Amino acid sequence: MKKFNILTSTCVPLPIENIDTDQIIPARFLKATTRDGFGENLFRDWRYSGGENPVEDFVLNTAKYSGKILVAGRNFGCGSSREHAAWAIADFGFNAVVSSFFADIFKNNALNNGLLPVQVSESFLDQLFDAIEKNPSINVRIDLPKQIIEIEELNLRERFDINTYKKHCMINGLDDIDYLRENKKEIEEFEKQL
Amino acid sequence: MLTGKNELAQDMSKTLFDKIWDSHVVKHVDDGPDILYIDRHFIHEVTSPQAFNGLRNRGIRVARPDKTVATADHNVPTKDQHLPIRDELSRTQVNKLIENCEEFGVELYGLNHPFQGIVHVIGPELGITQPGMTIVCGDSHTSTHGAFGAIAFGIGTSEVEQVFATQCILQPKPKTMKIEINGELGKGVLSKDIILYIISKISTSGGNGYFVEYSGSTIRSLSMEARMTICNMSIEMGARGGLIAPDEVTFEYIQGKEFAPIGVELENKIANWRHLTTDQDARFDKVYEFKAEDIEPMITYGTNPAMGIGISDRIPNGSVRASEAESFKKSLHYMGLEPDSSLLGKKVNYVFIGSCTNSRIEDLRLVAELVKGKSKADDINVMIIPGSKQVEKQAIEEGLDKIFQEAGFELRQPGCSACLGMNEDKVPSGEFCVSTSNRNFEGRQGPGARTLLASPLTAAATALNGYITDVRELI
């Protein structure tokens, strides 16, 4: 898994609440049997009208916004458990998603793919949206070891939570299967008493 | 799989969820996820291929193929299933499942197998789903199996690979929520209406971080299939899953199913399953109570399942949360609906009866009973997709297929179908579809499709009239 330590980048804002994984990657694009190439269809039906014509004012189609951080409204990633949503976001080039609330399964999926979900307060999210709108080239810095997200030039910062184990995995690029397999003996012992 | 006597004596007050979870923890780490042992792992063609690839890359096998069951459901046609799948990508994906199951020794109920069907329909109907189990599947509606008093939840593909590799999953323990519903349901009100009502009250994210236990006299009065509909949609309020303590209705349902225990083994199991209850003084992190009498047939008007109203209500004029105002407006714009308007009488051109929420034999019987001797409205397309080969067979044995045919309802073959529009069963852009499925997200049933979620009875009544109908007027 890709390692994550400190990321400084401009942001792409998507101030919509309850963005479900069917929007992130519609079901008709889930027919692949590998993990690659899903970025092409990220937010497909918001990016293209009639399936093909780019929607000019959609954030991913404007030159105004770019970067490795996606900033989205509350309850991001609800709905279907499809990990393809996390793959699509990462494949498109994002390394982190910031929201005031993540759906559980999406959060797990993101963490399992080196895509950092950063959960911030409602007020911080509002300030972030404001700052990005006023200056699309403003840099946001995410420091995972210190668990801090900040805009240095505005002196705006907040601490975010992350599970200690998951933080360790993200920083070191470790995945859960390595860890689980280290516990093989305990699992076998458990199975014996079933 | 019950907790040992000592543990029970030390901590008398546990929820059912805690009892099952704690008895499956292989290893607990403070501030870390638990290593949770999984009793049953269901897989399907869409979320498993990358996990099988992962095993190959690591050079390892499926740890417990005997606890793993596969079917093809999400991406299969619902017509001419005996022919090769026409869409090349779909065919490749379904064939990949066949190859993977052969290579890794996993039992597959694929297309044309008598046990094939939607994964959350076949698990229960085959007796594979049992009380007290931990069950996972790479599909968020795995919560369905909670109706048997099991901890069942949806997982991502990386987690599917974890379970393949070790029969365990790393999970932080969710908090617990109790939702109690008491009283008698009104005429024409089904369990689908109960869950749509609950979600409309709790919101699409209100259950986030929680595992729900449904209880109360209303829940107790429901059949197993009706209970499955409730647990199925737990994820639509953000909950990890939902469960219902097993009782005589549960034990009765399981008996005689293909892979259910028999004889003395069954008796012993049932004796154990009777202990699967929440202790009287157990504390939940959150509790909601609802009255069955307050629930009328429900229908959704927006683009998430919490945007639902009683069928005689009007669409709200604005969102509850200020920050949701933009999303609310965007949602109504997508749906082409006006605030403060009623949905009753609205012309609809599509009705979909199916999905892991409402495609079981009882759903089909209810529909058949309502439409027997009647005909659908002229302009409406009505599709009925049975949940499994067994449901399809049963429907035909009971003559339901003839009733549907006479009414102009098209009975097709099993699969997820227009619930998610992955195969060719889609609703055209801009068209309204009253659907018994679980999600009304933008484009869920096809790009531009406008989904209105409702019960099988409301869907069938709408099909007869050609416009959104309060089923209570027809019964």
**ipTM value of the model?**
0.96
Q: Is the dihedral of CA B362, B366, B367, B368 positive or negative?
A: positive
- Distance in angstroms (rounded) separating the CA atoms of residues A110 and A77: 10
Pairing assessment for the beta strands A69-72 and A96-99 based on DSSP bridges: parallel
B residues 151-170 near A, CB within 8 Å? 154-159, 161-162, 165-168, 170
Which chain B residues are within 8 Å of A51, Cβ to Cβ? 447
How many other C-beta atoms lie within 10 A of the C-beta of residue B12? 10
- Distance in angstroms (rounded) separating the CA atoms of residues B62 and B72: 19
Which chain A residues are within 8 Å of B162, Cβ to Cβ? 176-177, 180
Please, which pLDDT band fits residue A111 given cuts at 50, 70 and 90?
very high
Class of residue B57 by CB neighbours under 10 A (exposed 0-12, middle 13-18, buried 19+): exposed
pTM: 0.96
- Kindly state the DSSP code that residue A102 receives in the 8-state scheme: B
Q: What Rg, from alpha-carbon coordinates, does chain B have?
A: 22
Which chain B residues are within 8 Å of A109, Cβ to Cβ? 156-158
How many other C-beta atoms lie within 10 A of the C-beta of residue B289? 11
Give the pLDDT of residue B5: 41
For the record, the structure tokens of B404 come out as 């549907």
For the record, the structure tokens of A126 come out as 């509002």
Which chain A residues are within 8 Å of B450, Cβ to Cβ? none
CB atoms B140 and A105 under 8 Å: yes
Closest residue to B47, CB basis, from A26, A82, A122: A82
At B273, which amino acid appears? W
Buried residues in B75-113 as b, exposed as e (16+ CB within 10 A): bbbbeebeeebebeebbbbbbbbeebbeebebebbbbee
- Kindly state the DSSP code that residue A119 receives in the 8-state scheme: E
- Give the bridge partners for B46, in sequence order: none
User: Residue holding tokens 């098209």?
Assistant: B410
Looking at the complex, does the CB of residue A185 fall below 8 Å from at least one CB of chain B?
no
Closest residue to A28, CB basis, from B32, B421, B441: B421
User: N- to C-terminal Cα distance for chain A?
Assistant: 33
Give the pLDDT of residue B7: 44
| Contact criterion met (CB below 8 Å) for B210 and B334 | no
Give the pLDDT of residue B320: 66
Give the pLDDT of residue B321: 72
Kindly report the backbone phi and psi dihedral angles of residue B402, in degrees, each rounded to the nearest multiple of 5, phi listed first: -70, -40
Q: Pick the closest to residue B224 from B238, B245, B241 (CA basis).
A: B245
Flag residues of chain B having pLDDT under 70.
1-11, 320
Which chain B residues are within 8 Å of A23, Cβ to Cβ? 441-443
- Kindly state the DSSP code that residue A141 receives in the 8-state scheme: E
| Contact criterion met (CB below 8 Å) for B292 and B184 | yes
Q: Which of B1, B57, B327, B423 to mutate to test the interface with A (most CBs of A within 10 A)?
A: B327
Q: What is the pLDDT of residues B279-314, one digit of tens each?
A: 999 999 999 999 999 999 999 999 999 999 999 999
What is the secondary structure of A35-50 as a DSSP string?
S-SGGGGTTHHHHEET
Q: Which of A1, A14, A31 to mutate to test the interface with B (most CBs of B within 10 A)?
A: A31
How many other C-beta atoms lie within 10 A of the C-beta of residue A156? 16
Kindly report the backbone phi and psi dihedral angles of residue B19, in degrees, each rounded to the nearest multiple of 5, phi listed first: -60, -45
Looking at the complex, does the CB of residue B31 fall below 8 Å from at least one CB of chain A?
yes
Kindly give, in sequence order, each residue whose CB lies less than 8 Å from that of residue B189, ignoring residues fewer than 6 positions away: B292, B295, B296, B297, B455
Q: Which of A102, A105, A163, A185 to mutate to test the interface with B (most CBs of B within 10 A)?
A: A105
HEC assignment per residue over A52-88: CEECCCCHHHCCCCCCCEEEECCCECECCCCCHHHHH
Q: What is the pLDDT of residues A37-89, one digit of tens each?
A: 999 999 999 999 987 899 999 999 999 999 999 999 999 999 999 999 999 99
Give the pLDDT of residue B2: 42
Closest residue to B168, CB basis, from A81, A101, A180: A180
User: Residue holding tokens 């069917």?
Assistant: A22
Pairing assessment for the beta strands B241-243 and B286-291 based on DSSP bridges: unpaired
Closest residue to B205, CB basis, from A78, A86, A163: A78
Kindly give, in sequence order, each residue whose CB lies less than 8 Å from that of residue A160, ignoring residues fewer than 6 positions away: A118, A119, A120, A147, A148, A149
Q: Please report, for residues A81, B109, B153, B198, the alpha-carbon distance to residue B143 in angstroms, rounded to integers and kept in the order given.
A: 12, 21, 5, 16
| Contact criterion met (CB below 8 Å) for B306 and B236 | yes
At B98, which amino acid appears? I
Residue A191 sits at the vertex; the CA angle it makes with A188 and A194, to the nearest 5 degrees, is: 160
At A159, which amino acid appears? R
Mean pLDDT is lowest, of A98-102, A155-159, B29-33, for B29-33
Maximum separation of any 2 CA atoms in chain A, in Å: 61
Q: What chain A residue is nearest to B55 in terms of C-alpha separation?
A: A177
HEC assignment per residue over chain B: CCCCHHHHHHCCCCCHHHHHHHCCEEECCCCCCEEEECCEEEECCCCCHHHHHHHHHHCCCCCCHHHEEEECCCCCCCCCCCCCCCCHHHHHHHHHHHHHHHHHCCEEECCCCCCCECHHHHHHHCCCCCCCCEEEECCHHHHHHHHHCCEEEECCHHHHHHHHHHCEEEECCCEEEEEEEECCCCCCCCHHHHHHHHHHHHCCCCCCCEEEEEECHHHHCCCHHHHHHHHHHHHHHCCCEEECCCCHHHHHHHCCCCCCCCHHHHHHHHHHHCCCCCCCCCCCCEEEEEEHHHCCCEEECCCCCCCEEECCCECCCCCCCHHHHHHHHHHHHHHCCCCCCECCCCECCEEEECCCCCCCHHHHHHHHHHHCCCCCCCCCEEEECCCEHHHHHHHHHCCHHHHHHHHCCEECCCCCHHHCCCCCCCCCCCCEEEECCCCCCCCCCCCCCEEEECCHHHHHHHHHHCECCCHHHCC
Q: Please report, for residues B20, B31, B136, B234, B289, the alpha-carbon distance to residue B151 in angstroms, rounded to integers and kept in the order given.
A: 7, 21, 8, 12, 22
Count of A–B CB contacts within 8 Å?
182
Q: Is A26 helix (H, G, I), strand (E, B) or coil?
A: coil
Q: Pick the closest to residue B290 from B231, B229, B215, B224 (CA basis).
A: B215
Looking at the complex, does the CB of residue A82 fall below 8 Å from at least one CB of chain B?
yes
Q: Which of A20, A43, A57, A102 to mutate to test the interface with B (most CBs of B within 10 A)?
A: A20
In what helix (H) or strand (E) does residue A126 lie, and over which residues does it extend?
A: helix A122-134
